[in-house]
Structure 1
Amino acid sequence: MSTSPVPLRMVEVSGSEALWLLEGSALGRLVYPQREQTVLRPGRHTWEFGRLVVRTPAPSTAVPAAATYHVDELRADTGTGWTVTVAGRVDVIIDPDEAAHYQRTLAGWSHGPHDTLLRLHPKTVTGFRLTRAEA
């Protein structure tokens, strides 16, 4: 007896729901171009004052002026979950007091050239829920 897979669908969510999903998570991926390739780096994040602060193991000199950050929660057994993408201008956090604050509050990678703190100023925020299609 074979069972056919349950059809799934992708439903766009509002910007406020996408931000709510983003705020409820802690891990994501920074995505940016480098030497004609797409680079993905893991990141920990927090949403503060309308900006996304990301701690990532990427050299600060490699991160361009604009980047994308992607967060998702997918359940492998059902294929359901959600995905949120934020894109916009990026600033490297260089103020020592501010950097020390985020190094304490965002668990991350060892200090050094590949432990970068970024502030992403969202230009676009998109989100989708992956749900079972109605029969």
Structure 2
Amino acid sequence: MSTTPATLRMVEVSGAEALWLVEGSCLGRLVYRQRESTVVRPGHHTWEYGRLVVRTPAPVAAVPFTVTYHVDEIRAASGTGWSVTVEGPVDVITDPDEAAHYRRTLAGWTHGPHDTLLRVHPQAVTGFRLARQAEG
């Protein structure tokens, strides 16, 4: 075990690496504006065919044309990990067979009018790794 003091630093990752990190995880947060407020809802997701499919407890009518989806895995003890944000237009999955497939494969929190399936078409992807750097 090292006794050298360390500081945290953020290292930007490429878009490809950021998407790889998202693909390897399954839980994130859908972020959008509703009226004058920012709304944050949990989401389970999967990456398929270059798009992000998200199951979230948000009413369909409240979801705007463009959303932000945030995914991270940060270890509290060390402060290390990563954080990725995906932004882009979204459409609601309405096809009954496709919706049934995602309801079977993605866990949900609620059932009924707030159980929404979305397909996000990424237009902007940013990501960072949080790493420890020895001072010296």
2-side partners of 1:24 and 1:93: how far apart?
22
Aligned residues: 133
CA-based RMSD of the aligned residues comes to 1.4
Structure 1 portions without partners, runs of 5+: none
Q: How does 1:56-95 map to 2 (within 5 A)?
A: 56-95=56-95
Q: 2:123 corresponds to which letter in structure 1?
A: K
Q: Distance in 2 between matches of 1:6 and 1:114?
A: 44
What aligned pairs does 1:1-135 form with structure 2 within 5 A after superposition? Answer: 6-135=6-135
Hey, what's the Cα distance between the residues in 2 that align with 1:17 and 1:87? Answer: 16
Shift in Å, 1:107 = 1.1
Q: TM-score, normalization: structure 2?
A: 0.94
Q: Secondary structure at the match of 2:122?
A: strand
1:36 positional shift = 1.1
4+ aligned runs moved over 6 Å, structure 1: none
TM-score by length of 1: 0.94
Name the % identity: 76
